[in-house]
Structure 1
Amino acid sequence: MANKYSLGIDVGSTTVKTVITDSDGNILYSKYQRHLSKVKETVTDQLKIIQADYPDEEFTVCITGSAGLGLANSADIPFVQEVHAAFLAVKQKQPDADAVIELGGEDAKIIFLTGGVEQRMNGTCAGGTGAFIDQMATLLGVSADQLDELSLHAQKIYPIASRCGVFAKSDIQPLLNQGARREDVAASIFQAVVDQTVSGLAQGRSIEGKVLFLGGPLFFLRGLKKAFVRTLGLDEEHAVFPPEAPVFVAYGCAIYAATAEKAFHISDIIEKIRTAKASDAIVTGEPLFRSQAEYDEFIDRHKKFDLGYADIRTYKGDAYLGIDAGSTTTKLVLITEDGRILYHHYSSNLGQPLDKIADQVKRIYSEMNPNITIKGSAVTGYGEDLIKAGLSVDHGIVETVAHFKAAAYFCPDVDFIIDIGGQDIKCFKIKNKSIDSIMLNEACSSGCGSFIQTFAMALGYDIAEFSQLGLFAEHPVDLGSRCTVFMNSSVKQAQKDGATVEDISAGLSSSIIKNAIYKVIRANSPDDLGKNIVVQGGTFLNDAVLRSFEKELGRNVIRPAISGLMGAFGCALYAKERAGEEASKLISAEELENFTYTSRSANCGGCTAHCQLNIISFGKGRRFISGNRCEKGGGAANRNTVPNLYEFKYDSILNTVKTHQPKRYRGTVGLPLALGFYEQLPFWHMLFTTLGFRTVVSDESSRDMYYLGQHTIPSDTVCYPAKLTHGHIENLLDKGVDFIF
């Protein structure tokens, strides 16, 4: 005889869900709550709420979820795999469903029920899940709910990578820096999640029929629902969002628990959870500092590399402004003729670099002595072109040049520079007083400033406070050097294994350094980096990161006190070198008072690429255009005087097919206008027409063409041109050819 009550506990990567069912499988109670990495405490709190309502009842119990296996084993409570739990719940509640899509905190699942049961789940990457959405909301400086609200007012969608949060940041940050509407970016983030689910999980199977959408993100985020329904082409009858969606897997877990023979009082279950022992598999390293005295000596040594300061209110003479519009931060430095700092600023740009910098320049004008003349200005960084156009800055320079000029100011014999910024790592080898080689992080920005900032915010700490926590940690956790998304799981596991926040902070600082040395620089030994090493970038203002770098290298390095401002300082030095007799073109205080700009979207008609442009107008005929892939979209003159050879080639290939077809033919062959077939089309056309066949080619490549074949792509690691070819095959099938070659 089945027990009267069954309890399902779903311990996910970010949330805990509990469900109580009766003997007929009806849900009597449910709760959905974020655990903020305090798994045992959250589970215990939820069980105590249940205990108040069911003090004397017995429950059969089971645990599921990506973070539930360890807890189940240590507490000696039955465990069921979450995909199987979801399958049981679907069979109970929605037996006529054809497919199920469930998105959790760090996992995504698809269950195909029609045409053979097949279950798929993300493996090592949490791209396109709730954690991904949280990261993107953090990047925009909003909550997940606010991100959802923004998405509902979007006008256009941008292509954004969703395989991992790092790639997505690399797509989103330039959009923000170039003035894209936040509403459009928000909707694009949700579309990226849909694309990742369809191409990354479905991988060759069509998602069709009655589709059940489960999990917290798909229940609470209206913009995400809208993107899924639109992309899959579902109507209300075939897109099902059940009211119990957030706790659906916990419900399936309770269904599974109902088959158990042994039942427990809720107090016994609480005791089992409370006394569950943590794993002792945690690996730790050496403390960064063993004493306060050791830390004080470290601070005194680095204080030697500091600049002098001058009072902006009393100084008289020439000054030079340097601006670094970075990926996530804004830096400004105003220096005197002899290199002293009159004004400096460093802060997050919150996706609005132009507004931030305009405000700071306005503040400089309001505070400075009327006898100060800004003789020159220069800007570098991601937002260089936008800032130069908007504020009439005199010079724009490459980041490497700016950073080298700044480093050489502090150490004329510098032979290696490493700069760790918000989203990039730059390393320069210097020979004969010039840059000899450059190393950059490529597609991944794990180990950058935003990497540790993401974890600080996830754990509820300000970045500065979080950095200080690890300085005297006795057992820094060895987290290795991995991608941000993977590291999320490592951090959570370390917490479950008893690591303190201090240990994790120190461990993350070490991870940043290991990533830079062994993945970006790919050094075999410290000697590869040289003897006179200058470190810069805001990340090195973190004493824990700097100490980790010195300990890993086994030598001391030079960190200027303005480490985070080095790009801006290098720009100021460049502006000083280039200053002539003429006055600076920098926007005046009077113009700044009335400074406004408008942003609008448009499609370039210069060629068939039809680039989506962001046009920012500043008044008086000044404007900045981004999104263009060539100079035409930027408003280049004489755009029609140069022949378009790509267009000529394309038209010539199509004319071959159009004008040389047999009058009588034995069949029609489809040829995809992609990959090698595009280059070799005249050959294949001649071959088949000589054999007596009519040839038909697919339409021109486009984003829509990619989406047409997205559901048929069997592997996420295939290159984009190969993925695009799937769309061409679908296009030929729609044209009704006899066969496709």
Structure 2
Amino acid sequence: MNVNVGIDIGSTTVKIVVVRDGEIIHKHYERHFSKVREKAVELVRAARGLIGEDTPLRCSITGSAGLGVAKAADIDFVQEVFATRKAVGVHVPQADVVIELGGEDAKIVFLTGQLEERMNGSCAGGTGAFIDQMAVLLDVTPSELDELAQGAERIYTIASRCGVFAKSDIQPLLNEGARKEDVAASIFQAVVNQTIAGLAQGREVKGDVLFLGGPLFFFKGLQKRFQETLKLDDAHAHFPALAPYAIAAGAAEYAGGTQKTYTVDSLLAALEKAADAPVVANYLPPLFEDEQQYEEFKHRHAMHDVMTQNVTMYEGDAYLGIDCGSTTTKLVLIGEDDQILFHHYQSNKGNPADVIREQLTKLYELCGDRVHIVSSAVTGYGEALIQNAFGVDFGLVETVAHFRAARHFCPDVDFIIDIGGQDIKCFKIRNKCIDNISLNEACSSGCGSFIETFARSMGYSIEEFCKLGLFAKHPIDLGSRCTVFMNSSVKQAQKDGAGIDAISAGLSVSVVKNALYKVIRAHSPDDLGQHIVVQGGTFLNDAILRSFEQEIGRDVTRPAISGLMGAYGAALHAKDNRRDTTTLIGTDILAGFEHNVRSTRCGLCENHCNLTINDFGGGRRFISGNRCERPLGGTKKADLPNLYKWKLEKLKSYGKPSGIANPIAKIGLPFGLNNFELLPFWTAFLRKLGFETVLSDVSTRDMYMQGQHSIPSDTVCYPAKLMHGHIENLLEKGVDAIFYPCMTYNLDEERATNHYNCPVVAYYPELLKANVSALADFDFMMPYFELADKKRFTKHAVKYFCGKYPQIKKKQVIAAVEDAYMAQDEYYIDVRIEGQRAIRYADEHDLDVAVIAGRPYHVDPEINHGIDQLIASFGLVIVSEDAVWQLTDAPEVHVLNQWTYHSRMYGAAKYVTQKENAQLIQLVSFGCGIDAITTDEMRAICENGGKIYTQLKIDEISNLGAAKIRIRSMLAAVEEGRKLAEQQNA
């Protein structure tokens, strides 16, 4: 009798499979809650009676958390991809492709054709842990998330690279009233997208596909999304009952070939020895040496408190502030002396409107006829929704609300850092107004939600979890890295047996380091300021506050109402700006309050935005998802000069049919990357040679999805990823050839030491040729051309085109070159003329100019997601960097300036400093390595010229919540600065 035991110790679960004479006689699957070694012992002990005390057995261990246990116990270890292949070979031999999703691991194995195995690296996006995090965010269990997905009507675009990015996409959807059913299905679709883009990376998933792992077994909604996306019927999509245990079954098969034999008792003894193995880790100094030191710390911070009075004892006028944040909703009611009469703080559970309705009802009952709420204000992610739902008098951006509250506690405040659930907001104060704003982009690794999610996974509340770390003797050093990397560090510490107290303290330190060095990018405490106010719910955690003070080496002010500062600032704003009457709904309307949500697609312009319509009854409603003002009935601001809009229409005009009779061939030009700059050149050149040119359509999300299967890298920028869809689009149009040259250099504008093209842009045609299978037998023209040297280009063009098309003569190519350069020059002149017209309009109408500095392809509406229209909706005139860079001398920079587009942006930044009503907004694509070096230079140019630097990072995710905060914060700071200047001049 042969008995083989396979133990799969994954990142979140332990699985055991017992095989006797080739037949599985026992299998079990259980979460370990980080008690990795103890749970392994428990599962083996539970199978003891079934195996038999004296039965000889062989055993092997696998899984991401199994190596440490196997080493400590001296048990054979098998790498999990190998174990997967073993299981498939024995149990499902007909499979062509295996997709296996675990707790934090994802694998794809191609079994037919060229054998290939791929695993996720340090990112847990698109795995079971990701789904668990999203369930927590929606305040449902994972199984309830699956049930919700069955009722979905639409799919939103949600990032799946990691849970942090996804939260940044999901939370605004929930705050704007999106249906949980649709969000749930979108979460599963994000997992599918991550698997295809992140693991398949351009290799086609086809044939018989075997799906393994717990998530793919338990979540029917996930199964459905995979089948629909991969276009697999039931005969080719396999979801076997063995799926959750397959890796453990593979380990059991592997064990059959090992030499060591055990009895159940000797196996248990080996595992128990592993459970008692010593911890090896890097330690940090303790947060507090003893209770006395902690008491002194608490006493010092208790002095920053605010007066309170029970609302039932107060009589008179009151002012309401609401902070509808990314994960929590806060209400504060203050009296005439700024005392707090009532406050409330709770998770919004994906539906902040219900929380506000419930608390307003309670508040009105407490107020009775004695207290009159005469003014109200709301701030936060859900500001617009709540203002429309409840008739709140004022809406204000978070940065302004937090500054108003901080100034109340520390009139000399010169730096504020607010760490919330998902957001970090930092702003410097100069001359009593906001001078510089930093917000985290789409990463929340320095925020409270990471600790909260981890605490919940361990079975603790965030308060209990953080207290555990206060007196840890040896906090674990987890570094200052992104959430996923920290997750890996935490898991490793757990595998090594670190205590919860040490991990809790280590996480607190990591959150602080991420905030300081990843968001603020501080080099020293002096970069922050002398009078620092810290706030946000995360700083209510004494461990994080202590870590912050230790890291910067100075004391800070933490108001006792740290978690309520947004709402308190909103209440103070409501008091400062009180009107004669309030629009806040009363008890009569509140009693009949209802909230109905429906989705529709807007048809008022070519954007075709997916709208979410929130109806509150009584004619009150809120529409979200729009990129412009038209669905809201607004047209005036949308009609302001917008060079982004003008340039897009201008470039689209080059795609109109030329009417050439009997063209040599129809040549396709992809409408992306450097063709947003050189389309005038190439259309003029090719048409002069006798070709008909066909332009691919303007980018859309559907076009991206059409080409997604051939994208070999998930880290390349979104503009490059889109090119795969453009190639597919041109092939559908039936062109005879596609012309897409490789270009190391741009045109030389003589403002930099060199004129390089971005390496991705320069050579992306090579990547397309290698990865888009349809191009294998297609005429894909990708010569290497350089346009900066006209003579050299002419020589190369003659050689290429005369050689490829004998009917084309050298004289024709020379004439075409002249036309091409002339067409490009005319385009540049037109852009500058239109830019001057827009600037004159702004000057004549007393408007601000927003100079959007980016790359030419940022004009693409699928890349900018309507950011230009969003900015225009605030009453700004839009111009682009290529319309103004030449209006000023080249600024001095402290980096090697060798990129054409960089030198344009530096010039545009200097122009802004010389024009009083101009503001700079830089667009940067995630994954753009060479743009990373521009950030500090652009900031320095702006700040040295007395202007605010604003950067917006964009990728394939279209939610503009963070961008809107930045833009509004910048405008509020500009307005405050002007008011202050007027007061000083008066």
Q: What is the TM-score of this pair, normalised by structure 1?
A: 0.96
Query: C-alpha deviations, 1:634-674, integer Å up to 9, x for none?
Result: 23257998899988876776665553244334444332233
Q: Does 1:148 align with 2:146?
A: yes
CA contact (8 A) 1:611 1:633 kept: no
- Given candidates 23, 26, 41, the residue that maps to 2:38 is 41
1:626 to 613, 621, 624: 624
| Residues 677-729 of structure 1: per-residue CA shift (max 9 Å, x gap) | 35544543443344444433333422221111111001111111211110111
Equivalent residue, structure 2, for 1:302: 301
Contact 2:122 2:488 in 1 (8 A): no
Q: Matches of residues 88-487 of structure 1 in structure 2 within 5 Å?
A: 88-276=86-274, 278=277, 280-487=279-486
1:682-693 matched pairs, under 5 angstroms: 682-693=680-691
SS at match of 1:507: helix
Going from structure 1 to structure 2, the CA distance change for 1:694 and 1:513 (only over 3 Å counts) comes to same
- Greater mean alpha carbon deviation, residues 199-208 or residues 434-443: 434-443
Question: For 1:323 and 1:312, how far apart are their aligned partners in 2?
Answer: 17
Q: Who is 2:504 aligned against?
A: 505
Per the alignment, in what secondary structure is the counterpart of residue 301 of structure 2? Answer: helix
Alignment match, 2:612: 614
Is the contact made by 1:422 and 1:450 (CA closer than 8 Å) also made in structure 2? yes
Provide the residue aligned with 1:592 in structure 2.
590
Cα RMSD of the aligned pairs, angstroms, is 2.0
Query: What is the rounded CA distance, in whole Å, between the counterparts of 1:652 and 1:564 in structure 2?
Result: 49
Contact map agreement 1:632 1:639 (CA 8 A) in 2: no
Amino acid at match of 1:472: F
Q: In the TM superposition, what whole-angstrom CA distance separates every residue of 1:172-221 from its partner, at most 9, and x where no partner exists?
A: 00000000000000000000000011011111111111111111000000
Structure 2 counterparts to residues 531-570 of structure 1, below 5 A: 531-570=530-569
Q: 1:50 aligns with which of 44, 47, 70?
A: 47
| Whole-Å separation in 2 of the counterparts to 1:587 and 1:667 | 67
CA apart distance, 1:487:
1.8
- Give the letter for the 2:608 counterpart: H
The aligned counterpart of 2:70 is 72
Relative to structure 1, the CA distance from residue 318 to residue 640 in structure 2 (aligned partners, 3 Å threshold; closer, same or farther) is: closer
Q: Distance in 2 between matches of 1:256 and 1:569?
A: 62
Q: Kindly indicate whether the alpha-carbon contact (under 8 Å) linking 2:657 and 2:692 is maintained by their aligned counterparts in 1.
A: no
Residues 18 and 690 from structure 1, CA distance in 2 versus in 1: closer, same or farther, beyond 3 angstroms?
same
Query: Does structure 2 conserve the Cα–Cα contact (< 8 Å) formed by 1:312 and 1:369?
Result: no
Contact 1:377 1:584 in 2 (8 A): yes
Structure 1 contact 318–337 (Cα < 8 Å) conserved:
yes
Quick one: which amino acid aligns to residue 257 of structure 1? A
Deviation at 1:479, TM superposition (A): 1.4
| Paired AA for residue 202 in structure 1 | A
Note closer, same or farther for the CA distance 1:634–1:679 as it changes in structure 2 (3 Å cut).
Answer: farther
Distance in structure 2 (CA, Å) of the matches to 1:216 and 1:637: 51
Which amino acid counterpart does residue 169 of structure 1 have in structure 2? K
Name the amino acid aligned to 1:164.
Answer: C
Whole-angstrom distance in 1 between the partners of 2:636 and 2:437: 36
User: How many Å separate the matches in 2 of 1:578 and 1:690?
Assistant: 64
Deviation larger for 4-13 or 168-177? 4-13
Per-residue CA deviation, residues 296-355 of structure 1 (Å, 9 max, x unaligned), is: 222222111111222211211111111111100111111110111110111111111111
Letter in 1 for 2:307: G
1:11 matched to 2:9? The reply is yes
Q: In the aligned structure 1, how far is the partner of 2:429 from the partner of 2:656?
A: 58
Partner amino acid for 2:175? N
Query: In the alignment, which residue of structure 2 is the partner of 1:737?
Result: 735
Q: Deviations over 1:78-132 (max 9, x none)?
A: 1111111111221222222211111000011111112210110000111111110
Give the Cα separation in 2 of the matches to 1:428 and 1:681.
41
Q: Give me the whole-angstrom Cα distance separating, in 1, the residues matched to 2:637 and 2:519.
A: 40
* CA shift for structure 1 position 560: 1.2
Quickly say closer, same or farther: Cα 1:358–1:739, change in 2 above 3 A. Answer: same
Deviates more, 1:602-611 or 1:218-227: 602-611
| C-alpha distance 253-304 of structure 1, shift in aligned 2 (>3 A) | same
> What SS class does the counterpart of residue 57 from structure 2 fall into?
strand
C-alpha distance in 1 between matches for 2:412 and 2:663: 76
Using the TM superposition, give the Cα deviation of residue 528 of structure 1 relative to its aligned residue in structure 2, in angstroms. Answer: 2.3
| Contact kept in structure 2, 1:279 and 1:497, CA below 8 Å | yes
Bigger drift between 257-266 and 666-675 goes to 666-675
Q: Distance in 2 between matches of 1:340 and 1:472?
A: 35
User: What per-residue deviation string (whole Å, max 9, x for no partner) do you get for residues 26-58 of structure 1?
Assistant: 322211111111111111111112211112211
* Structure 1 unmatched ranges of 5 or more: none
Q: Contact 2:135/2:141 (CA < 8 Å) preserved in 1?
A: yes
* Aligned AA (1:371): R
Q: Is the deviation greater in 474-483 or in 567-576?
A: 474-483
Could you list the runs of 4 or more consecutive aligned residues of structure 1 that deviate by over 6 angstroms after TM superposition? 638-652
Distance 1:608 1:376, change over 3 A: same
Give, as a single letter, the amino acid of the residue that structure 2 aligns with 1:548.
S
SS at match of 1:313: helix
Distance of 1:494 and 1:121 partners within structure 2: 22
Distance in 2 separating the partners of 1:494 and 1:657: 58
The answer as to whether partners of 1:102 and 1:108 remain within 8 angstroms in 2 is yes
Query: Which among 57, 60, 69 is matched to residue 58 of structure 2?
Result: 60
Task: Give how far 1:269 is off.
Answer: 1.0
Partner secondary structure for residue 264 of structure 1: coil
CA distance in 2, matches of 1:619, 1:477: 53
Which whole-Å CA distance do the structure 2 matches of 1:731 and 1:114 have between them? 29
Question: Please, which runs of 5 or more residues in structure 2 have no aligned partner?
Answer: 740-986
Greater alpha carbon shift after TM alignment, 226-235 vs 271-280: 271-280
Higher relative contact order (CA 8 A, sep 6+): 1
Shift of 1:577: 0.9
State the shift of 1:495 in Å. Answer: 2.0
After TM superposition, the structure 1 stretch with the greater mean CA deviation from structure 2, 664-673 or 623-632, is 664-673
Equivalent pair of 1:626/1:634 in contact (CA under 8 Å): no
Distance in 1 (CA, whole Å) between partners of 2:638 and 2:536 is 44
Tell me the matched-pair count: 737
CA contact (8 A) 1:229 1:235 kept: yes
After superposition, the C-alpha distances for 1:410-466 in whole angstroms (9 at most, x for unaligned) are 111112211111111111222222222122222211121111111110110011111
Equivalent residue of 2:312, what SS? coil
Q: Is residue 629–residue 638 contact of structure 2 (8 Å, CA) maintained in 1?
A: no
TM-score when normalising by structure 2 = 0.73
Q: Distance in 1 between matches of 2:411 and 2:650?
A: 58
Q: Is the 1:314–1:369 contact (alpha carbons within 8 Å) kept by the matching residues of 2?
A: no
Which segment is superposed worse, 596-605 or 676-685? 676-685
Give, in whole Å, the separation in 2 of the partners of 1:631 and 1:69: 56
